Chains A and B, each alone.
Chain A
């Protein structure tokens, strides 16, 4: 299974903040893609409100997911494809291994897929003695470096070209070079050999369409098309929510997905894949398998509060505008999904207590919802997760995260309904603050539990007299 390190959020964030190269890369990414995506929405013939329509489309399909999936499966089987419903990551991995074993697969080429990261597919294939190669340039770099993606769409955003130059010199046995285009050529050459030798190709699924019975994959490098057509076997993985009932809706989502993901009107390579090669066709795999992954999604579907999260089409637009992601990068989130989407999805998939920092370590600024191609109310769900952490929740197996904090808010709620008590508390704090060093009318050091504030900032002290008290006097 994939490694989960959500507990290291704060420590990883600190590391990322100190990494100046990463900071510049993230700022550049947000400037290009975040702003670019917003501009793309403004230029849509239907206007940015197409996002709201897309939200309705997604919600309707999610609410009818059983029927929509049944149609998809029936149509894919009709086209000669195999479909497997995997209850969890292990089942999905096992199925893939069985197919590989049956066909004596020794080499696999992979199209980029976050679901495969979620289930830890690469490690499982390697353990089974199969040679696996990522074929997306960014993913290939990450694989050679033995790392994990730090962005859903731009997985190697944290690597510099000189790091990549050294990596390629070491792993591909070429002279050191840090010219991006020459490095890309070197990767291309190495990957062509992988494509030609592969017995099996794997891919994700950007969005499937039930009425036609196809999955759609997008890439800008052509690598997914090669991964899915050159080898004998194609195994595609999709989260069970990634399907549109109608082609018309599928196309709207596709247009928005490309805008959200890369500020493009359409990706360079778009493949609609509906099954294996038919009799008389020269291209395409002999077998096509679609693995539909649950892995906790049914539980999300069953909860009205979080169902909306299944609308997500994993474009990563929210990462490109999130001011927290901009500082801490993708690795801090400790799982396949980073940024605002990760802050909601990861706790729901791996455990809310375990990923508490992900949903609490956000400012609720709302930029994620504004840029989301399907207008998901991420802040609402971050708040809902925090409520579970505050109160505990038996359905999700959550225990209250901080009993001291709960007591504090309990006391706060007694004070807050009574102005006299409130005034007394403020007065007490105003007396207490005299103990703390002040320079130029600013406090430079606060006591626990609020000492974090003054680690990097000062704070203005409480006023000698509140406005309400001044108002009373001057009435």
Chain B
């Protein structure tokens, strides 16, 4: 194992408040690997909701709080590609006219990793000895895929799960239609997009759809539920912990 730095958990707000079991699964995976963990209990949100809606001043407030809370961490891991993309790429935009905070943001960005990226690229782990009996498909979350370039890592981890039959869905790299506030402001468009996504998931015959971002999975789960489907949505950490 290449790194034994202490991992600081950066918990996406959706995971913290709606899907705490995802963070617990992540903790379980890390403990199994013998990684020592810490979790700042003052953390709230990285600021992305405000940033994406154009409220930069308000996003800065959240970003500054985030930086203050995480600044002393050796290495930060988050179960969301979207939040990591925010810290890694958008903080620079947010503080482009504020050199002092820009520097602090950039220092932090260099130590912040998405969950699957940390396991595969930093730790060099791809087999966690997990078992899941059933067919599984994977959705590429936009910010994970195009924002921070993570595509192979989750698949590598999924391929090593025993008992799992992995099936790629059609257009796995298409947006599910979540888009944060977009899903509420433009419900008809968002719903049309997630309808396509769910159709592609159902067409694989999968028992579970896996992704690395609960924003997408909340959207997909909501549609599956409305349609009465029993396909499970699982964060990668959950299937790896099983």
Contacts and interface: CB of A to CB of B under 8 A. Distances in A.
Interface of A: 10, 13-14, 17, 323-324, 326-328, 357, 360-367, 369-370, 380, 383, 385-391, 405-406, 409-410, 412-413, 415-419, 422, 426, 440, 442, 444, 449-450, 452-463, 465-468, 470-472
A388 B54 contact: yes
> What 3 A-B pairs have minimum CB-CB distances, sorted nearest first?
A363-B179, A386-B54, A390-B54
Given A416-B47, A417-B65, A472-B41, 17 more contacts: A10-B188, A13-B186, A357-B186, A362-B179, A367-B146, A413-B50, A416-B61, A442-B222, A452-B190, A453-B184, A455-B188, A456-B190, A457-B225, A460-B19, A460-B222, A463-B18, A471-B39
Interface in B143-197: 143, 146-147, 173-175, 177-179, 182-196
- Among B146, B188, B191, max chain A CB count under 10 A is at B188
A370 to B, nearest CB: 6
A20 B174 CA distance: 20
A415 to B, nearest CB: 8
B20 A457 contact: no
Interface in B12-39: 15-20, 23-24, 39
Given A416-B62, A460-B221, A365 B179 contact: yes
A327 B177 CA distance: 10
B238 interface: no
B56 interface: yes
Contact of B182 (A361, A422, A426, A472): A361
B39 to A, nearest CB: 5
A452 B192 CA distance: 13
A456 B49 contact: no
Contacts of A390: 53-56
Nearest to B61: A413
Contacts of B175: 323-324, 363, 365, 367
Contacts of B225: 440, 442, 457-458
B112 interface: no
Contacts of B185: 360-361, 452
Contacts of B24: 467, 470
Nearest to A363: B179
Contacts, number: 193
Contact of B184 (A362, A418, A449, A462): A449
B18 A369 contact: no
A409 B45 CA distance: 13
B58 interface: yes
B133 interface: no
A462 B17 CA distance: 6
Interface of B: 9, 11, 15-20, 23-24, 39, 41-45, 47, 49-58, 61-62, 64-65, 93, 142-143, 146-147, 173-175, 177-179, 182-196, 218-219, 221-223, 225-226
A458 B11 CA distance: 23
Nearest to A405: B53
A449 B185 CA distance: 9
**Chain A contact surface mostly:** helix
A385 B53 CA distance: 10
25 contacts: A17-B189, A323-B196, A324-B193, A326-B196, A361-B189, A363-B175, A365-B146, A365-B179, A366-B143, A367-B173, A367-B174, A385-B54, A390-B53, A405-B53, A416-B62, A417-B44, A417-B64, A452-B184, A454-B222, A463-B17, A463-B20, A467-B24, A468-B11, A471-B39, A472-B41
Given A383-B54, A419-B44, A471-B41, A327 B193 contact: yes
Contacts of B222: 442, 453-454, 457-460
Contact of A417 (B52, B62, B177, B188): B62
B61 A417 contact: yes
Contacts of A324: 175, 189, 193
A457 B219 contact: yes
B19 A463 contact: yes
A185 B49 CA distance: 54
B58 A323 contact: no
A327 B226 contact: no
B221 to A, nearest CB: 6
Contact of B65 (A406, A416, A426, A471): A416
A323 B20 contact: no
A432 to B, nearest CB: 13
B107 to A, nearest CB: 20
A387 B58 CA distance: 11
B125 to A, nearest CB: 23
A327 B23 CA distance: 34
B174 A323 contact: yes
Contact of A426 (B17, B41, B146, B147): B17
